[in-house]
Amino acid sequence: MVDRQYQLGMAWRMLLAFLLFFAIGIFLVFAPSMFGLLVGANLEELEPAGREFLILHRRIWPAVLFVLAGVFVYTALFSHRIAGPIYRINAVLQAMLRGEYPKSVTLRKGDHFHQTAELLERLSRQLAGQREGGPQGRSTDSGETK
């Protein structure tokens, strides 16, 4: 279970950010040829710049599409390790608001936020203890991590 809206939103934002950087990079790569084409006065000056421009055009665009697709897929996979724990933590918080106190908060092995899940688990146990009036509700452990 993951928060798909968060995951896809993050992937699209990353893709747009990389697209902006690629656009700037492509401009810088093509700028010398474009300048040569714009200021060239005769055919002998225009031909090398035009040939270079066409070679760059043929080679760069497939690479750009490949890299952008790779960035999107990588971001979607990476954000899965973030979106899943957020979904699980939100589900546990919703249960706690309903008065249910789960004994454990389980995340997958490669997920982020394991320390947050442990804190949430301790909070759930402490609130369950307070609700029942047991000794867990009077814990003196501050729960601070270093």
Tokens 């991590």 -> residue: 145
* 138 — pLDDT class (breaks 50, 70, 90): very low
Q: Give the tens place of pLDDT for each residue, 16-46.
A: 888 888 888 888 887 877 777 777 777 777 7
| Residue spans per domain, the chain | 4-138
Question: Angle, nearest 10°, between helix axes 4-39 and 43-97?
Answer: 170
Give the E-state strand segments of the chain in sequence order: none
* Cα first-last separation, the chain: 30
Please name which of 124, 92, 127 lies closest in space to residue 107, comparing C-alpha atoms.
Answer: 92
Does the model's pTM come out above 0.95?
A: no
Q: How far apart are CA 85 and CA 114, in angstroms?
A: 8
Q: Give the tens place of pLDDT for each residue, 102-127.
A: 988 889 898 889 999 999 999 999 99
Q: Give the tens place of pLDDT for each residue, 49-103.
A: 778 878 888 888 888 888 888 888 888 888 888 888 988 999 999 999 999 999 8
Under 8 Å between Cβ of 80 and 7: yes
Please name which of 75, 132, 60, 61 lies closest in space to residue 101, comparing C-alpha atoms.
Answer: 132
Q: How far apart are CA 26 and CA 4, in angstroms?
A: 32
